[in-house]
Chain A
Amino acid sequence: MTETEIYTPPILETTDDLAEMARQIRRDIIRLLTMAQSGHTGGSLGMADIFTALYFKILKHNPQTFWDDHDQDFLFLSNGHISPVWYATLARAGYFPLSELATFRKINSRLQGHPATDTHLPGIRIASGSLGQGLSAAVGAALGFRLNKSSNFVYCLMGDGECQEGQIWEAAMTAAHHKVDNLIGIVDFNNQQIDGEVRKVMGVEPFADKWKAFGWIVLECDGNNLADFLNAARLAQSLARKEKPVVILAKTVMGKGVSFFEGTMPDGTNWHGKPPSKDHEAKALNELPPTRFGDF
């Protein structure tokens, strides 16, 4: 791979610009999943708006100095199975060549099914996939920032189903106890997991109250509304550094952007862990018109 193959990220000023990039990232997700014929469609599509907002507006980050420079915000993805949205966003943000998206889940690829560090893909700081570990890792990084007197933030993305893992709450307790106030959690609150609706499999409600009871400042927003999420993220930054961690419960729709991937199917199943077929791909891309950024 050469430097020239790396996509130059555009400056995205308006929410319309961001929305167009989010649509492109959704196209990328559909295409790379169809090429792989393996992977998680629903959660990836549902989080496309949040990833776009984070990497193009919220995060202080520099792909060129990812490995060497700790003076930037860190992002941890705890629910690693939505790697397609992370990979597509990282490529669009200039971390690695767009062409590499075609290698997802294939032999010898840096784009492992779940995020890995041993393939040295820029953008990823720790492996994730076995659920529940990412918030702990983020707490560790946030404590490290504090010791290093860094003014940067640590962001940690989690799933709502993932919050059934006890370790999430161990980490939540630790963050509050040690007054980790440079940490912003973002939960993909889509009420979906592999076996169906979260509320039916193992309810997490009262969700906001749980986080509050664990000592966190809790914000809620529409995670598929860019303006609403940007407001929540900026509010989270302004509420941080007051001896408390902050979490944003971002309501999203699994499969957002493609009508027939959204939410729960009539038979009770969902598009959590299935890739699109070629037929699905064509129909899905029809619902997501091409953008000025172009496909990979």
Chain B
Amino acid sequence: MSTKLQSRGEKATRAGFGEALLEIGSDEKVVALCADLTESVGMKKFAEKYPDRFFNIGIAEANMTSIAAGLTTTGKIPFIGTFANFATGRSFDQVRQSIAYSEKNVKICASHAGLTLGEDGATHQILEDIGLMRSLPHITVIAPADFSETKRAVKAIYKHHGAVYLRFGRPAVPDFTTDDIPFEIGKAIELNSGIDVTIIACGVMVWRALQAAYKLEEEGVSARVLNMHTIKPIDVQAILSAAKETGAIVTAEEHQINTGLGDAVANVCARSFPVPIEMVAVMDKFGESGTANQLLEKHGLTSEAIIQKVKTVLKRKAMTA
């Protein structure tokens, strides 16, 4: 199945969110709320087309979070949009009590996540959001890989009854995923088959994982690539198959090494089928100003870094064999 996926050009994941939100807006149950970032997060077209069902709450994200929870009590499906930092870190207690504990059907749509937010710097570059959200019961956590997958994810979470944290980003990134494999919440997508090692990635690191796998193939290493778009509930079966069939795992994410995808994967393996695991992530540091690519480079979130971790994990695999 290893037809190499190609980029069809670069598009922002937030634009995918905006397009899909506009489409599902035909359902009158769908309402959208934003905290003074309407254009930035991709909600402008929805706001223009459905002004009665769009509420700008101003710079008050905690308030917006609880308002959305209240809207669900009248049968609405609220999509709230803001930067990931404000959607999670700033509003954690509101997400916890008003949404997760109260089991409300709110879709928390968080843009500008991670280092790729770029020049604004560390104050806005949240790298802890996946950890914050996946620590909460009753909440689904999704980080799509590109524009097209973000669109599919938005349509999937609209149909799914329950709280969702959807993480996407600011910059234009390669758009490469296809409709061949339908987007199913909680089900990882195998983008490249392989038998020596599995690279498990989410968000912008999926493209880099693929580039790493293609390069490794030239070097004679067969790397499976899993697009783990849903971090919670994590696809335990796909992880355990990877562990059993390839015997080594490298995770890759635009997030702190603590509490993110890597921890989620390691948790599954440690409890059921331990194999050597290496992690590509931000090493317990805050970000800084710079372009998205400069920051990814500086913090080691590249396909080259993934290749290095694959080589390390393969050595460990050989030692334990």
**Chain A residues in 8 Å Cβ range of B62:** 133, 136, 167, 170
| Complex CA distance for A124 and B57, rounded to whole angstroms | 25
Which residues in chain B, 62-110, are within 8 Å of chain A measured between CB atoms?
62-76, 78, 93-94, 96-98, 101-104
Which residues in chain A, 124-153, are within 8 Å of chain B measured between CB atoms?
125-130, 133-134, 136-145, 147-148, 150
Q: Which of B74, B93, B103 has the most chain A CB atoms closer than 10 A to its own CB?
A: B74
Q: Which of B60, B64, B67, B104 has the most chain A CB atoms closer than 10 A to its own CB?
A: B67
| Complex CA distance for A74 and B94, rounded to whole angstroms | 20
Q: State whether A144 and B57 are in contact (beta carbons under 8 Å apart), knowing that A127-B98, A133-B94 are contacts in the complex.
A: no
The answer to whether B101 and A147 touch across the interface, beta carbons within 8 angstroms, is: no
**Chain A residues in 8 Å Cβ range of B102:** 116-118, 126-127
The answer to whether A147 and B52 touch across the interface, beta carbons within 8 angstroms, is: yes
Tell me if A234 counts as interface (CB < 8 A to partner B).
no
Q: Is the interface of B mostly helix, strand, loop or mixed?
A: helix
| CB of B184, distance to nearest CB on chain A (Å) | 26
Taken residue by residue from 39 to 67, chain B's Cβ proximity to chain A (1 for < 8 Å, 0 otherwise) reads as: 00000000000001101011010111111
Partner of A137, one of B28, B96, B98, B103: B98
The answer to whether B74 and A137 touch across the interface, beta carbons within 8 angstroms, is: no
| Complex CA distance for A223 and B63, rounded to whole angstroms | 28
Which residues in chain B, 104-157, are within 8 Å of chain A measured between CB atoms?
104
The answer to whether B97 and A141 touch across the interface, beta carbons within 8 angstroms, is: no
Tell me if B265 counts as interface (CB < 8 A to partner A).
no
Q: State whether A141 and B73 are in contact (beta carbons under 8 Å apart), knowing that A167-B63, A170-B63, A174-B67 are contacts in the complex.
A: yes
Which residues in chain B, 161-192, are within 8 Å of chain A measured between CB atoms?
none
The answer to whether A144 and B66 touch across the interface, beta carbons within 8 angstroms, is: no
The answer to whether A139 and B60 touch across the interface, beta carbons within 8 angstroms, is: no
Q: State whether A137 and B53 are in contact (beta carbons under 8 Å apart), knowing that A130-B93, A170-B62 are contacts in the complex.
A: no
Look across to chain A and name the residue whose beta carbon is closest to the beta carbon of B65: A136
Q: State whether A130 and B97 are in contact (beta carbons under 8 Å apart), knowing that A141-B74, A145-B74 are contacts in the complex.
A: yes
Tell me if A171 counts as interface (CB < 8 A to partner B).
yes
The answer to whether B103 and A138 touch across the interface, beta carbons within 8 angstroms, is: no
Which residues in chain A, 161-198, are within 8 Å of chain B measured between CB atoms?
167, 170-171, 173-174, 177-178
**Chain A residues in 8 Å Cβ range of B53:** 147
Tell me if A76 counts as interface (CB < 8 A to partner B).
yes
**Chain A residues in 8 Å Cβ range of B277:** none
| CB of A169, distance to nearest CB on chain B (Å) | 9
The answer to whether B98 and A174 touch across the interface, beta carbons within 8 angstroms, is: no
The answer to whether A74 and B73 touch across the interface, beta carbons within 8 angstroms, is: yes
| Complex CA distance for A178 and B52, rounded to whole angstroms | 11
Q: State whether A177 and B58 are in contact (beta carbons under 8 Å apart), knowing that A130-B97, A167-B66 are contacts in the complex.
A: yes
**Chain A residues in 8 Å Cβ range of B96:** 130
Look across to chain B and name the residue whose beta carbon is closest to the beta carbon of A145: B74
The answer to whether B66 and A70 touch across the interface, beta carbons within 8 angstroms, is: no
**Chain A residues in 8 Å Cβ range of B252:** none
Q: Which of A76, A136, A167, A173 has the most chain B CB atoms closer than 10 A to its own CB?
A: A136
Binding site for B on A (CB under 8 A): 70, 74, 76, 116-118, 125-130, 133-134, 136-145, 147-148, 150, 167, 170-171, 173-174, 177-178
List 7 A-B residue pairs with CB atoms under 8 Å apart, sorted by A's residue number: A70-B74, A74-B73, A116-B101, A140-B71, A167-B60, A174-B58, A177-B58
Known: A130-B96, A136-B62, A174-B67. 12 other contacts (CB 8 A): A133-B98, A136-B67, A136-B98, A137-B73, A140-B66, A140-B73, A141-B71, A144-B31, A144-B70, A167-B63, A171-B66, A174-B58
